[in-house]
Amino acid sequence: MNPYEENLKNLIEDHITEPTELSGVEDRFDKRFRKERRNSRIKISSAVTSLLVLFMFITANTDMAWAESLRKIPVLKELFTSMMFSSNYEDQIEELGLVSDNGEHQLFLQYALSDDKKISLYLQFPEYIKLEGYDRLVVTVLNVYDINTNEDYTSAFLPENSAYPDYFEHNYLSLFGLLPPGPEMHFPDEMGFILSASIEHREFSSTHGMKLISTEDLGEFSFETSLQKMSRTKNNEINKTLTLSGNRLHLNSIERSPLSTNLIITEDPDNTHRITGFEGMFVDAETGAVITDDLSSIMYDKDFRIHSIALGSQSMRSGAYAADLIITGVYLLDKQAEYITVDFEQKTMSPSIEGIKLSMVSSGKKSLLTFLIEKNDPYSSPFHFKYKTQEGEYKYLPHGSYSGGGSENTTVSYVFEEEIHGTITLRLHGQNNNHLIPLKEPIGTVIDVPEAFEPTP
């Protein structure tokens, strides 16, 4: 399994919710990828993969006559009501009106909002599909591919997408795909999608929590489409270097489309610390308007090295102009203290790290690990989502339990559903408040922002 897909699946289990407003969807999606635990990275394999189809679908996409008889005319007002599109995006919305029928159920691919780095697809289920109580509608992305080359883009999409009774107005559900900024990867115009859908019927009680009662399988669906309004990104070279608390940061380029703007950066490999985040703002140099005062939407590469910062594209003027990048603080992680080893038999942690105290270790049918973290963000684990066993195997770190140990401290506990012997190795991600170094003086530089390209004619 692609490691990026594993990362996404792990993230979804904890954090995926169906948004109610599209105006905030893109930012929240980036946050879940880039900020929440900072662990999800996207990369697409260049290998051509075979498309395996288990069933022959009768779809409107491939039979024009049948397409016209089955086509459900999308009602844009319904989508606006359900998703509350930002006016910035209205001209970019593409009406597709495709239908897939698997013999028992239909699924409609009504709209798309896309550039060659980011895709949002808006599915609509038939009116008879109802969600009640604690039901959960799940759409699984089985395969995404380039129609012309068969190149696989599946791992660029969230593998599971959910809807719940309170967030299923007009029966819409959205899918998201994201590629890393930079000139290396782009979504194609003509793409195919194979999806499956099911409804989980669940009940909740205070004693047993959420319990799955049954699963209603809605089957598989397939679509092939050409995204005529897919916007193109434009890249401007920057080639500047900033020194932040003794560590060098290279500003390589800025990439922009009508839907997104990203500053592409790299760390100097000779830095003593990993740069894991920033405080500061991005300001229009001519008008003085603050484009964004949140520089926390960061993407990393597969080795968790910093790669890019998402900037506030909705607040930008459409033409080319100059903007000031102002950094007021930097998150730093000492490379010598990036990994810690916990010995369950000796009940010790090494090396000793300022701000992190091992407060409890126990091993049995279930094993327990508890830390006291200074200045920790509430409900945020200080570690990456996988740990390494003494035998060299990588396993998922259990979800943490959090309690306040004081106004500046947090107690974080992990319960392992197994008896652990020997040692495990944890990796700090360096995104907690105890890694923030405020700069004595803000550091800034001027960046030439390219104009936003219009959609492809």
Percent of the chain with pLDDT strictly greater than 90 = 47
The pLDDT of residue 456: 47
The pLDDT confidence band at residue 448, using thresholds 50, 70 and 90, is very high
Statement to judge: residues 243 and 375 lie in one domain: no
The pLDDT of residue 179: 85
Could you give the CA distance from residue 453 to residue 451 in angstroms, rounded to a whole number?
6
Of the listed ranges 58-62, 85-89, 162-166, 383-387, the least confidently predicted one is 58-62
For the chain, the average pLDDT equals 78
Statement to judge: residues 375 and 407 lie in one domain: yes
Q: How far apart are the first and last CA of the chain?
A: 38
| Confidence (pTM) | 0.69
Looking at 226, 254, 278, the residue that finishes a domain is 226
Q: What is the pLDDT of residues 194-228, one digit of tens each?
A: 999 999 999 988 877 788 999 999 999 999 999 99
CA trace torsion 371, 372, 373, 378 (10° rounding) = 90
Q: What is the pLDDT of residues 138-172, one digit of tens each?
A: 999 999 999 999 999 998 998 999 999 988 888 99
The pLDDT confidence band at residue 89, using thresholds 50, 70 and 90, is low
Residue 355's domain spans which residues? 339-427
Instruction: For tokens 């989980």, name the residue.
Output: 200
Q: What is the pLDDT of residues 235-255, one digit of tens each?
A: 899 999 999 999 999 999 999
Contacts of 166 (CB under 8 A, 6+ apart): none
Any domain includes 32? yes
Choose between 37 and 379: higher pLDDT. 379
Choose between 377 and 270: higher pLDDT. 270
Statement to judge: residues 145 and 272 lie in one domain: no
DSSP string, 135-180: -EEEEEEEEEEETTT-BB-GGGB-SEEEE-GGG-GGGEEEEEEE--
The residues with which 446 forms a beta bridge, in sequence order, are 324
Which whole number is the average pLDDT over 249-276?
Answer: 90
Percent of the chain with pLDDT strictly greater than 70 = 76
Statement to judge: residues 319 and 408 lie in one domain: no
Statement to judge: residues 354 and 221 lie in one domain: no
The pLDDT of residue 84: 46
Phi, psi of 36 (to 5 degrees): -65, 100
Looking at 226, 254, 269, the residue that finishes a domain is 226
Any domain includes 142? yes
Number of domains in the chain: 3
Statement to judge: residues 99 and 213 lie in one domain: yes
Q: Which CATH number fits the domain that encloses residue 309?
A: 2.60.40
The pLDDT of residue 379: 67
Statement to judge: residues 37 and 95 lie in one domain: yes
Statement to judge: residues 153 and 95 lie in one domain: yes
Specify burial of residue 184 (Cβ count, 10 A radius: 0-12, 13-18, 19+): exposed
The pLDDT confidence band at residue 40, using thresholds 50, 70 and 90, is very low
The pLDDT confidence band at residue 282, using thresholds 50, 70 and 90, is very high
Q: What is the pLDDT of residues 295-315, one digit of tens each?
A: 887 777 766 777 888 887 667
The pLDDT of residue 125: 96
The pLDDT confidence band at residue 22, using thresholds 50, 70 and 90, is very low
Statement to judge: residues 357 and 374 lie in one domain: yes
Chain CA centroid to CA 266, Å: 20
Any domain includes 456? no
The pLDDT of residue 313: 67
The pLDDT confidence band at residue 441, using thresholds 50, 70 and 90, is very high
Any domain includes 457? no
Could you give the CA distance from residue 153 to residue 110 in angstroms, rounded to a whole number?
21
The pLDDT confidence band at residue 274, using thresholds 50, 70 and 90, is very high
The pLDDT of residue 454: 52
Any domain includes 454? no
DSSP string, 391-411: TS-EEEPPPPEEEESSTTEEE
Statement to judge: residues 188 and 330 lie in one domain: no
Statement to judge: residues 199 and 256 lie in one domain: no
With 60 as the cut, is the pLDDT of residue 99 above it? Answer: yes
Statement to judge: residues 168 and 263 lie in one domain: no
The pLDDT of residue 205: 83
The pLDDT confidence band at residue 343, using thresholds 50, 70 and 90, is very high
With 70 as the cut, is the pLDDT of residue 1 above it? Answer: no
Could you give the CA distance from residue 330 to residue 443 in angstroms, rounded to a whole number?
11
Are residues 97 and 74 in contact, defined by beta-carbon separation less than 8 angstroms? Answer: yes
